[in-house]
Amino acid sequence: MKKIILSIVLVNLLAACASEKPKETVSEPAAAPTATAPAATAAAEPAQTTTAADAAAAAAAAAAAMPEVRSAYFPFDVDAVQESDRAAIQANGAYLGKNKDVKVRVEGNADERGSTEYNLALGQRRANNVKKLLVLSGAKASQIETVSFGEEKPRCAEHNEACWSQNRRADIVYPNK
């Protein structure tokens, strides 16, 4: 009898935890333009030997392919990466997967509400979740360092929701970029 009551209590607890959160509006990321003309031109040209100039051009092309969006934003008291930011993080992960020598630091941040200790822990969870998505997108875990600044590095210093929403973020920082 105790097992039945315990299982009913656990099922109710799980059902309570599975309550649906308010849905956010998600905009679909724009499709990346396909490069058909350069591929056709490259196929028409004869093969050439690789020179130092070619290597420098390839390095410049790789640097140019670095994703521009490097921040993920979070709702209040949430550490899960939002759907609206997944594409940008996955693009960074794919870039890191193609450039194994590049290392990044993921900096977790929180707004000013909450204690210093809580905000540091929340910022670390946010950074760790971004790191997990980067790894799932092709990066190696050894390429990524995580750190939490909690509420210590705000992007905006005002005391309102618009400002706080800018401070609840995780930034992907490329060294020397």
One-character DSSP codes across 91-145: HHHHHHHH-TT--EEEEEE--SSS-HHHHHHHHHHHHHHHHHHHHHTT--GGGEE
- Per residue in 99-130, pLDDT (tens digit) is 999 999 999 999 999 999 999 999 999 999 99
The model's confidence at residue 177, banded by pLDDT at 50, 70 and 90, is: low
- Per residue in 42-61, pLDDT (tens digit) is 444 444 455 666 655 655 55
For residues 100 and 24, what is the distance between their CA atoms, to the nearest angstrom? Answer: 34
Q: Average pLDDT of 14-29?
A: 50
CA dihedral 89, 31, 74, 99 (to 10 degrees): 10
pLDDT at 3: 78
Angle made by CA atoms 48, 51, 53, in degrees to the nearest 5:
115
Average pLDDT, the chain: 80
Joined together, the tokens standing for residue 15 give 């059902």
Closest CA to 79 of 29, 117, 116, 131: 131
The amino acid at residue 39 is A
Using a 10 angstrom Cβ sphere, with 0-12 exposed, 13-18 middle and 19 or more buried, the burial of residue 92 is buried
For residues 4 and 150, what is the distance between their CA atoms, to the nearest angstrom? Answer: 44
CA dihedral 18, 74, 172, 127 (to 10 degrees): -50
Structural domains of the chain in order of their starting residue, each with its CATH number: 66-177 (3.30.1330.60)
pLDDT at 1: 81
The model's confidence at residue 9, banded by pLDDT at 50, 70 and 90, is: confident
Q: What is the DSSP letter of 68?
A: S
The model's confidence at residue 20, banded by pLDDT at 50, 70 and 90, is: low
For residues 168 and 161, what is the distance between their CA atoms, to the nearest angstrom? Answer: 10
> Per-residue pLDDT for 143 more than 60?
yes
- Per residue in 68-92, pLDDT (tens digit) is 889 999 999 999 999 999 999 999 9
